[in-house]
Amino acid sequence: MLNYPSYRYDDNFVLKVPLLLWLTLLYGVRHVFIVSATRMMPLDVFDTPWIYMQSSALFLLTDAVAALLLFATGHRVPTGSNFMRQVWKLGRWLLAGAFGAAIALFVYLNRETITDPGDMHFLEAILVVAVDLALIAYLLGSRLVSDVFRDFPAPAPKP
């Protein structure tokens, strides 16, 4: 018996990745785009505090986990490797940890702004932290997300 409506499953009877989880994964690699854009474009194009505060190349380390999970979504097939199976099984915790690490790095790099409510960019900094905290809550609190990361097609029989 299926735990969810049939439209939530693919041809292998594996839960599809929901739209909000796709968006979470894409948001998880945002620093790749931010760092690339700030290095290739003139500084005045990306002169918004939200982008400037996240333009350190150190954030690419936290994005690597989301990039690996994006890669693993394409390998959720019966012929998927054991490594991809393990990555996917741990994906919810890995992604939540990556968002937590991004928060810690963001707070460290922007500690003057975060600790001064009078700073003109304080609200932007709090917004960045709040979005990451909301995504962690979604990853750890959603039963569907938990079930999606638990679900992987059975291995294909060896010829």
Q: Give per-residue pLDDT as tens, 83-113.
A: 999 999 999 999 999 999 999 999 999 999 9
Task: Tell me whether residue 7 is in a domain.
Answer: no
Q: How many domains does the chain have?
A: 1
- Tally of CA atoms within 13 A in the half-sphere of 89 that contains its CB: 9
Question: How much is the average pLDDT of 113-131?
Answer: 92
For residue 47, the model assigns a pLDDT of 67
- Please indicate, yes or no, if residue 9 is contained in any of the structural domains: no
Domain containing 33: what range? 15-150
CA distance 53 to 46: 11
In a domain, 5, yes or no: no
Closest CA to 121 of 12, 129, 94: 129
Report the C-alpha gap between 9 and 44 in whole angstroms. 46
CA distances, 74 to each of 15, 64, 84, 119 (Å): 13, 16, 10, 43
Radius of gyration of the chain (CA): 18
Token pair belonging to 8? 């939530």
* Arithmetic mean of pLDDT, 33-40: 81
Assign 102 to helix, strand or coil. Answer: helix
Per the prediction, the chain carries an average pLDDT of: 89
What does the pLDDT read at residue 95? 97
The verdict on residue 24 lying in a domain is yes
Instruction: For the chain, give the number of residues.
Output: 159
